[in-house]
């Protein structure tokens, strides 16, 4: 179609693997014969947003489908998103009036419940967010823990915010929705001593109690890998006090050294650290965050060849295993060890912006080796730069 040659930009749609359609009137064009050259150009698209005030009152209008979807895909939280939104909205209204977030006292919680019910009544009257009846138990939990900040959720929402900041450059489409996340099922069953101890773990104690914090401190953990995931994990371990108690310990091993290509994502490392041991450097930075961290580091590959070091006594002494490795062979070996010694395992991995995590508990969940991952579509550059361990890695290294 030679008539297309003089047109610089044409919008396309219905894009498939080998074809697409043009959004243009081609009735006066000649017949299309075959082939031709096209260049795919991304054109800037203006994106409009509601104000925060409008969106707080009517969050459903910010989404494409006009609803608030729960993050939980098992559907046990159906309808909870609206309850959470009213609870959060009521908590912010308390802060606007009192100049502070509510404490976990009956007086403060009663005020937040009153605010949430008032917002719900206003929503029914003005066709905005509303529920049949406000769930006071959800409001109490949201308001009662609103002064607390715990490292796991801070890291998760920090990741959301960081990705949205990157999208501001115009390369990706920003999110236009609310994300309400709760993990109420992780709270202790029954009464717990939540009296603060005037220590760095008081926020966790206010949520989970002193007994849980004591258990966390006395856990003996073994983490394999200190790369991008390992840096995040060892930071979390230090900040939450895992293995920082009188009987706790953390052991970290990684047989790799820091390279310049690691610095963009392995955030504990800096330019002067290049050439140093990943495990030793990461744990030194974590210990600077929390001097109580009882950590031992190795530069040893975990495999059948190193079972003289990581022997029966070593595995028997552990309470918890964390996998942060970058190849299937190591994952399967650690998984077999955890099955044999009946140890809980946190298994995880990343590839670009994709990630997975799996919590494996002996006799309660399937093991990592019970299912098979689909073949990887690409290979992490860190693997190519450090230890190519399969034929296709070497081919990709040569191509690069």
How far from 103 is each of 10, 150, 181, 200, CA to CA, in Å? Answer: 58, 16, 21, 18
Q: Write out the DSSP string of 104-157.
A: SSHHHHHHHHHHHHHHHHHHHHTTSS--SS--HHHHHHHHHTTT---HHHHHHH
Give the Cβ contact number of residue 107 at 10 Å.
8
Contacts of 109 (CB under 8 A, 6+ apart): 102, 139, 140, 143, 144
Question: Residue 3 is encoded by which pair of tokens?
Answer: 């008539």
Q: Which long-range contacts (CB under 8 A, 24 or more apart) does 258-263 make?
A: 259/385, 259/386, 261/381, 261/382, 261/385, 262/227, 262/228, 262/382
| Residues 85 and 68 sit within 8 Å (Cβ to Cβ) | yes
Q: What is the DSSP letter of 244?
A: -
Of 156, 243, 277, 357, nearest in space to 268 by CA: 277
* CA-wise closest residue to 225 among 194, 200, 256: 256
Please tell me the number of Cα atoms within 13 Å of 325 on its side-chain side: 27
Q: Count Cβ neighbours within 10 Å for each residue of 330-369 and write b for 16 or more, e otherwise.
A: bbebbbebbbeeebbbbbbbbeeeeeeebebeeeeeebbe
Structure tokens at 203: 């926020």
Q: How far apart are CA 371 and CA 388, in angstroms?
A: 24
- Catalytic status, residue 382: yes
What backbone torsions phi and psi does residue 288 show, to the nearest 5 degrees?
A: -65, -30
3-state helix, strand, coil in the chain (%, to 5): 40, 10, 50
Distance CA 196, CA 166 (A): 38
3-state secondary structure of 350: strand
Annotated catalytic residue within 199, 231, 382, 394:
382
Which H or E element spans position 167?
helix 151-167
Residues tagged active-site: 382
């Amino acid at each position: 179609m030679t008539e297309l040659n003089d047109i610089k930009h044409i919008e396309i749609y219905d894009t498939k693997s080998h074809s697409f359609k043009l959004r243009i009137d081609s009735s006066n064009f000649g017949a299309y014969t075959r082939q031709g050259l096209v260049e795919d150009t991304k054109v800037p698209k203006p994106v409009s947003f509601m104000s925060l005030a409008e969106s707080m009152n009517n969050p459903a209008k910010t989404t494409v489908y006009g609803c608030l979807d729960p993050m939980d895909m098992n559907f046990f939280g159906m309808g909870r998103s609206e309850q959470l939104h009213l609870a959060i909205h009521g908590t912010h209204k308390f802060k606007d009036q009192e100049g502070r977030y509510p404490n976990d006292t009956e007086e403060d919680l009663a005020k937040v419940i009153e605010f949430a019910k008032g917002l719900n009544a206003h929503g029914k009257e003005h066709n905005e967010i509303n529920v049949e009846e406000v769930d006071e138990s959800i409001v109490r939990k949201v308001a009662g823990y609103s002064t607390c900040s715990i490292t796991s959720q801070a890291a998760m929402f920090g990741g959301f915010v960081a990705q949205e900041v990157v999208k501001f450059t115009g390369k990706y489409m920003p999110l236009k929705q609310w994300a309400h996340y709760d993990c109420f099922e992780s709270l202790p069953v029954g009464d717990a001593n939540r009296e603060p101890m005037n220590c760095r773990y008081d926020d966790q104690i206010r949520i989970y109690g002193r007994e849980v914090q004591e258990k966390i401190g006395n856990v003996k953990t073994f983490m394999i890998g200190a790369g991008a995931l390992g840096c995040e994990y060892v930071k979390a371990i230090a900040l939450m006090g895992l293995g920082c108690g009188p009987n706790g310990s953390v052991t970290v091993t990684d047989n790799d050294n820091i390279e310049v290509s690691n610095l963009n994502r392995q955030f504990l490392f800096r330019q002067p650290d290049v050439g140093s041991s990943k495990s030793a450097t990461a744990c030194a930075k974590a210990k600077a965050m929390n001097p109580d961290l009882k950590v031992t580091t190795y530069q040893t590959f975990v495999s059948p060849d190193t079972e003289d070091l990581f022997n029966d006594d070593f595995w028997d002494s552990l309470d918890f295993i964390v996998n942060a490795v970058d190849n299937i062979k190591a994952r399967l070996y650690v998984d077999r060890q955890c099955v044999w010694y009946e140890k809980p395992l946190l298994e995880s991995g990343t590839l670009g912006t994709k990630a997975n995590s799996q919590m494996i508990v002996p006799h309660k969940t399937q093991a990592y080796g019970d299912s098979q991952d689909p073949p990887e579509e690409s290979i992490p550059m860190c693997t190519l730069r450090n230890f190519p361990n399969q034929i296709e890695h070497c081919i990709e290294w040569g191509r690069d």
